[in-house]
């Protein structure tokens, strides 16, 4: 079984500042890792994913994340945020079987203010 911990429930930041949203996972097997974004009153949209290979993955809207196996982390970063980045961000894992059920963290609300 897997579990995901998102250490911050809410992250307030000013526009154009950098941001890091933290995610740690626990699993006894190798996993795939994901970040999803949920804008107000919308469904989930995949930001980026780590499947294998380079530990630094780039996603949409200027976001990137780095997989750190030794620290079992997959932190999400953006060098300069916009007001439009205000949303809930979910980290998720799945095992590497063909039946990829997702286990989600509790989410981090990113609040970008002018």
Longest dimension (CA), the chain: 44
Helix (H, G, I), strand (E, B) or coil at 25: strand
Please state whether 109 falls in left (phi above 0), alpha (psi between -120 and 50) or beta: beta
Residue for token pair 């981090």: 108
Segment near another protein (CB under 8 A), from 20-28, 53-61, 76-84, 90-98?
A: 90-98
Of 29, 70, 99, 114, the one binding another protein by CB under 8 A: 99
Footprint of another protein on 28-47 (CB under 8 A): 32, 36, 41-46
Kindly state the smallest distance separating residue 1's Cβ from another protein, in Å.
Answer: 11
Give the footprint of another protein on this chain (CB under 8 A).
32, 36, 41-46, 49, 51, 90, 96, 98-102, 104-107
């Amino acid at each position: 079984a897997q579990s995901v911990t998102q250490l911050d429930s809410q992250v307030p930041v000013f526009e154009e500042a950098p941001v890091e949203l933290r995610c740690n996972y626990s699993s006894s097997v190798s996993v795939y890792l994901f970040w999803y974004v949920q804008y107000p009153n919308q469904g989930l949209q995949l930001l980026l994913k780590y499947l294998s290979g380079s530990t630094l993955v780039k996603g949409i809207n200027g976001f990137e994340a780095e997989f750190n196996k030794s620290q079992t982390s997959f932190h999400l970063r953006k060098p300069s945020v916009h007001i439009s980045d205000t949303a809930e961000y979910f980290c998720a894992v799945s095992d590497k079987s063909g039946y990829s059920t997702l286990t989600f963290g509790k989410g981090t609300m990113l609040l970008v203010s002018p």
